[in-house]
A and B are shown apart, each in its own frame.
Chain A
Amino acid sequence: MSILSTRKAEKIDSLAEGGTSLAMDALRRTFRSPVAILGLVIVGLFVILAIISPFIAPKDPYRPYPELKAELTPSNIPGPMPGFLLGSDQNGYDFFSRLLVGAQQTLFVGVFATLIGVAIGMIIGGLAGAFGGWVDSVLMRLTDIMLSVPSLLLAISIAALLPGSQWTVIIAVAMIGVPVFARLLRGAMIAQRSSDHVLAATALGVKRKTIVFRHMLPNSIGPVIVQATLTLATAIIDAAALSFLGLGDSDWRRAEWGLMLGNAQELLSVKPSLAFFPAIAIIVVALGFTLLGESMRESLDPKNRR
């Protein structure tokens, strides 16, 4: 067989492969970077912990233990003792178990706050981007107003208005994200609207609805997903901040890191670890989501392709 035909065969082989979509490609690129892998590992561990923590927690996190209660005084909270790895919290509960189970509640708050924010934001941004004109103007002025209030202040106002419950925290934190997602999606969709391929679809006679849902929206969603990942990190921190300010969940028994951190603030001199461990947990998880989001952003950026 001549060199020519071997080379020819190689060439044809290389043509036969392919068929990878951009999303697949981006995903593959994302997980080439060690930063992304670190982010993914942290987030993965967190999610796994959130799921299995009720089953692996050594003690019941929602019940006081007499052994701990016995030594509990306003000026002394028991430290580690046999059976209780990190000792007691201020109410005589097993601190370690609460810390583990806290992952679940924290994830719950973070995920729902983000999801609600994304959902409302996408509806506003999507409408503004798809219709343009006065719909756009009205909706964008609305988000401008929301954006003009400092985010935490916005959450505090909402939290103060509603009765203190876990859902109050979720909604308050979600509202912080709404204008961000709305603007992001609207901007991306406006860019899409004047893009060549949308123009091409219009010229082709594709229905307006189809263009919005099949071309504009899917091509605009990338940055929203990235932002959502990043927002998960801030949502967890914001929820913690609300709890810290006493505007959080009124159910003090609930094991949630932000709440635990908030309730521990008066006990810093008595047992600093009560604040320290939830704080570290929040920071690490937030870091994980941030790393993941940032590397996704980087790989979605067309400038960084290949």
Chain B
Amino acid sequence: MTDETVTTTGAPGTDAVDTDAGAETVGAETVGADVAGGDVAGGEVAGTSAADDGAAGEDDVLVTVEGIEVHFPIKRGIVLERTAGYVYAVDGIDLTIRRGETYGLVGESGCGKTTLGRGLLRLVEPTGGRVVFDGTDVSTLKGEALRTSRRRMQMIFQDPLSSLDPRQSVESILVEGMRAHGLDKGKQSTRARLVELLDSVGLPESALHKYPHEFSGGQRQRIGIARALAVEPDLIVADEPVSALDVSVQAQVLNLLEQLQQRLGLTYLVIAHDLAVVRHISDRIGVMYLGSLVEEASSDSMYAEPMHPYTKALLSAVPVPDPTVEDDREQILLTGDLPSPAHPPTGCRFHTRCPWKQDTLCDTDRPELRDIGGGHRVACHYAEDIRAGEIGRHEVEPELVHPDT
């Protein structure tokens, strides 16, 4: 391990430093070393996953989501509650996640991406649609069957501190899931498994008897990852896995996730608002706007040629830490705010803010997600015309959105 690190960092005097920093940083170090430990490895990952993309057949699908809907009722009244309306958090989404791939779900706050992730895991009850996981329809499971089915689908949370019970030691956090699924078969083997788990997320064995508040943000997220791994899942839904972390620590966790995927053959659904993060980690990306998917494509194709006006605006809005890029960037500034998901606009939900909006179809017909070649799916009536340059951008009068209506 030490050798590897030295060769990667390759700076004078590192041998002294890297043995330092103690147990705490060694883990982080290892991860960095493994991924950076040769650009070759990184290149290979990208290569294989791209190949998978093309060859993906029906039986390679791990998760199929069909028309999933999560509508939250808005209750009014104190004694006699009545439903005054619904928040259409997720409103009819189809998507498939292939075995071993990373599907990135991106969108701004209020677009329903978190609810979709939770609905998929049945942490909130979908009000419609189906989720098929590895051939089993999990949307109809109840009670004990639902509980045991959870072993194969795990979750990583945004806030690593609040997602860990402050009263539990790391050991008890990790054992809990194993116990729930009968995976702790004896003191010896459990102990060995715990050490192995910690090692795989780059934490020392001494962490077992500590409590969450005694760790740094990055380390807590590692504990959260180890908890998910403890039950040997196939799918991990990672909801904003790095957005609560310091910039310098984010890369450690991203690298760890990639390394674990390679080693354990995990499938990820990564939910994030940060396009750069999603772009970095995902094979395919879905873009959400107001409860529906507006575009879906491979990571590279999404970046190279965004088709949906919203995706275009989103991509152009991400600041890039490179002054040259920033200087000649053409920004597509959206006007106004996200409309309320309780009163979504008619037709295409983006038409109120769309700089390419046309007089027909946009405000009347809701566009379906359709394949426009090479697995690039987009929900826009005029995607081809915009690509061909036949429709130009125009000014949009901002509509004011009141958040409480």
Contacts and interface: CB of A to CB of B under 8 A. Distances in A.
The answer to whether any beta carbons of A and B sit under 8 Å apart in the complex is yes
Interface of A: 2, 4-5, 7-8, 11-12, 15-16, 18-23, 25, 195-197, 199-207, 210, 214-215, 218-219
B162 A15 contact: no
B227 A200 contact: yes
A172 B21 CA distance: 61
A214 B158 CA distance: 22
Contact of A200 (B157, B166, B181): B157
Nearest to A200: B163
A166 to B, nearest CB: 38
A204 B20 contact: no
Contacts of A219: 165-167
Contacts of B177: 204-206
B393 to A, nearest CB: 41
A4 B176 contact: no
B176 A22 contact: no
Interface stretch (B58-66, B145-153, B292-300, B395-403): B145-153
A4 B23 contact: no
Contacts, number: 102
Contact of B231 (A12, A16, A21, A205): A205
B25 to A, nearest CB: 9
Residue among A7, A21, A214 with most chain B CB within 10 A: A21
A241 to B, nearest CB: 33
Nearest to A8: B20
Given A8-B21, A196-B157, A19 B210 contact: yes
B147 A205 contact: yes
Contacts of B214: 18-20
Interface bracket on B: 35 or more
Given A4-B20, A7-B20, A21-B167, A203 B150 contact: yes
A11 B22 contact: yes
A205 B151 contact: yes
B151 A199 contact: no
A219 B19 CA distance: 39
B11 to A, nearest CB: 15
B101 to A, nearest CB: 21
Contacts of B227: 200, 204
A11 B153 CA distance: 38
Residue among A2, A7, A200, A218 with most chain B CB within 10 A: A200
Interface in B281-297: none
B209 interface: yes
A15 B23 contact: yes
A204 B157 contact: no
Contacts of A196: 157-159, 162-163
A51 to B, nearest CB: 32
B329 interface: no
Given A22-B166, A25-B213, 20 more contacts: A7-B20, A8-B22, A12-B22, A15-B24, A16-B206, A19-B209, A19-B211, A19-B214, A22-B167, A199-B118, A199-B155, A199-B157, A200-B224, A201-B176, A203-B153, A204-B177, A205-B150, A205-B151, A206-B176, A219-B165
Contacts of B181: 205
B210 A203 contact: no
B20 to A, nearest CB: 4
28 contacts: A2-B16, A7-B20, A8-B19, A11-B20, A11-B22, A15-B24, A18-B210, A18-B214, A19-B214, A20-B211, A21-B169, A25-B213, A196-B157, A196-B163, A197-B162, A199-B118, A199-B123, A199-B155, A200-B157, A203-B121, A203-B123, A203-B155, A204-B154, A204-B176, A205-B149, A205-B180, A207-B147, A219-B167
A146 B227 CA distance: 44
A36 B246 CA distance: 37
B150 A204 contact: yes
Residue among A2, A15, A205, A215 with most chain B CB within 10 A: A205
**What 5 A-B pairs are tightest by C-beta distance, nearest first?**
A205-B150, A196-B163, A8-B20, A12-B22, A204-B177
B201 interface: no
A128 B151 CA distance: 29
B164 interface: yes
Contact of A205 (B148, B162, B206): B148
B213 to A, nearest CB: 6
A195 B162 contact: yes
Given A8-B21, A203-B150, A197 B165 contact: yes
B254 to A, nearest CB: 20
Contacts of A23: 167
Contacts of A15: 22-24, 204, 206
B163 A199 contact: yes
A121 to B, nearest CB: 22
Nearest to A11: B22
Contacts of A201: 165, 176
Nearest to B181: A205
Contacts of B204: 15
Contacts of A4: 16-17, 20
Contacts of B180: 204-207, 210
Contacts of A8: 19-22
Given A22-B167, A204-B227, A12 B23 contact: yes
A289 to B, nearest CB: 25
B166 to A, nearest CB: 5
Contacts of B162: 195-197
Interface string B190-214: 0000000000000010100111011
B229 to A, nearest CB: 11
A69 to B, nearest CB: 60
Interface in B20-67: 20-24
B122 to A, nearest CB: 9
A198 B159 CA distance: 13
B397 to A, nearest CB: 39
Interface string B111-149: 000000010010100000000000000000000000111
Contact of A21 (B163, B164, B211, B228): B211
B23 A202 contact: no
Contacts of B158: 196
A199 B157 CA distance: 9
A12 B24 CA distance: 8
A2 B17 CA distance: 12
A2 B24 CA distance: 21
Interface in B159-195: 159, 162-167, 169, 176-177, 180-181
